[in-house]
């Protein structure tokens, strides 16, 4: 919903123009890994999802986890140190020296170490940490009305993925609830085929939430995306693709939607729009709607 932002869209637009100009002059130098197939596609025809292999994700998690752990723990650690120092009749320098080699080294040293190492590897050793995905994990195709799942388990080097495809209308959405580390229930969205063993776990797309609103909103998004009688969801992600979809192009022409609605939006207005979308998500009425499929199928737990 917030990715890409209007600023990102403008940056990408400027970058594309700059690259085209350099190509015209013959001075363009490709960036590392430019052109590598990432097996992701988010346009007017399909929503195709892929993930980097664990080796690549490890370094990204190490960098991001170390960074945010350090930022969060820094004020807490400093506060705890000052509270402890005020209650002890010892010099601040002596306490600080002891904390630096003990308390600080654990609470701040480890996250800082992970942040520095992860950032160094990602920034200066791209050929070491980066590996492209072996292929997409799943795809929802608006043009064909189908859902495709790609399975890579127990494949040998020369084998391709096992592909399972079925019409979108044969799938049902389920909210799967599981506990987090504190035992609190977290809700995620699953898509299960009604007659075959085909399933998609969307937890890699959006993290599980302690409410059911966000999984329900994601399900609404996919239903709207797959319905060719409706325009594409009006999100920054589809700004450059709306004119390519006949239904969306016709809809935008009728309502007079500006082709650069998102890309020309200022940051403050975008923040307001995001808040409005979040309010609509919180007020979603999925469970009060009539279950039309109940007239056609019988659900068995």
DSSP codes, 200-223: EEGGGTS--BSSSHHHHHHHHHHH
Please list, in sequence order, all residues whose beta carbon lies within 8 angstroms of the beta carbon of residue 16, skipping any fewer than 6 positions away. Answer: none
Burial zone of 125 (CB within 10 Å; 0-12 exposed, 13-18 middle, 19+ buried): exposed
pLDDT at 14: 94
Nearest to 254 by CA among 236, 264, 242: 242
Instruction: Extract the residue ranges of the chain whose pLDDT is less than 50.
Output: none
Instruction: Count Cβ atoms below 10 Å from residue 43 Cβ, excluding itself.
Output: 15
d(CA 175, CA 286): 12
- Going from the C-alpha of 124 to that of each of 66, 89, 129, the distances in angstroms are 18, 47, 10
**Which pLDDT value is given to residue 89?**
66
- Burial of 178-206, coded b for 16+ CB within 10 Å and e otherwise, reads eeeeeeeebbbbbbbbeeeebebebbeee
Residue 35 has what pLDDT? 85
Do 235 and 270 touch, CB atoms closer than 8 A? no
Structure tokens at 88: 């002890």
Dihedral, 209, 214, 216, 218 alpha carbons, nearest 10: -120
DSSP 169: G
Query: What is this structure's pTM?
Result: 0.85
Distance CA 215, CA 175 (A): 7
Domain map (residue ranges) of the chain: 6-52+133-152+160-286, 54-129
Task: Name which of 171, 174, 178 is nearest 216 in CA terms.
Answer: 174
SS3 readout for 217-268: HHHHHHHHHHCCCCCCCCCHHHCCCHHHCHHHHHHHHHHCCCCCCCCCCCHH
What are the phi and psi torsion angles at 40 (to 5°)? -115, 145
What is the spatial distance between Cα 35 and Cα 37, in angstroms, rounded to a whole number? 6
Which pLDDT score, from 0 to 100, does residue 252 have?
A: 97
Residue 26: how many other CB atoms lie within 10 Å: 6
- 44, 245 contact by CB (below 8 A): yes
């Amino acid at each position: 919903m917030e990715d890409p932002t209007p600023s990102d869209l403008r940056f990408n637009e400027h970058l594309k123009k700059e690259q085209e100009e350099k190509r015209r002059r013959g001075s363009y130098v490709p960036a590392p890994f430019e052109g590598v197939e990432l097996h992701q596609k988010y346009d007017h025809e399909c929503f195709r999802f892929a993930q980097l292999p664990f080796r690549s994700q490890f370094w990204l998690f190490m960098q991001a986890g170390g960074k945010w752990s350090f930022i969060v723990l820094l004020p807490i650690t400093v506060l705890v140190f000052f509270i402890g120092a005020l209650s002890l009749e010892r010099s601040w320098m002596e306490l600080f020296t002891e904390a630096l080699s003990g308390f600080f080294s654990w609470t701040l040293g480890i996250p800082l170490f992970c942040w520095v190492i992860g950032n160094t590897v990602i920034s200066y050793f791209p050929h070491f940490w980066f590996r492209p995905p072996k292929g997409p994990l799943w795809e929802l195709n608006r043009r064909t009305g189908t859902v495709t799942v790609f399975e890579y388990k127990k494949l040998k080097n020369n084998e391709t993925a096992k592909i399972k495809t079925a019409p979108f209308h044969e799938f049902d959405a389920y909210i799967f609830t599981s506990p987090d580390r504190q035992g609190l229930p977290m809700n995620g969205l699953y898509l299960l085929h009604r007659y075959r063993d085909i399933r998609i776990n969307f937890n890699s797309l959006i993290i599980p939430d302690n409410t059911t609103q966000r999984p329900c909103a994601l399900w609404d998004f996919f239903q709207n995306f797959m319905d060719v009688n409706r325009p594409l969801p009006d999100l920054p992600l589809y700004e450059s693709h709306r004119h390519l979809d006949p239904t969306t192009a016709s809809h935008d022409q009728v309502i007079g939607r500006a082709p650069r609605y998102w890309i020309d939006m200022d940051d403050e207005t975008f923040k307001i729009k995001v808040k409005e979308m979040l309010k609509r998500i919180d007020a979603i009425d999925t469970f009060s709607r009539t279950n039309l499929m109940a007239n056609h199928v019988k659900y068995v737990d």
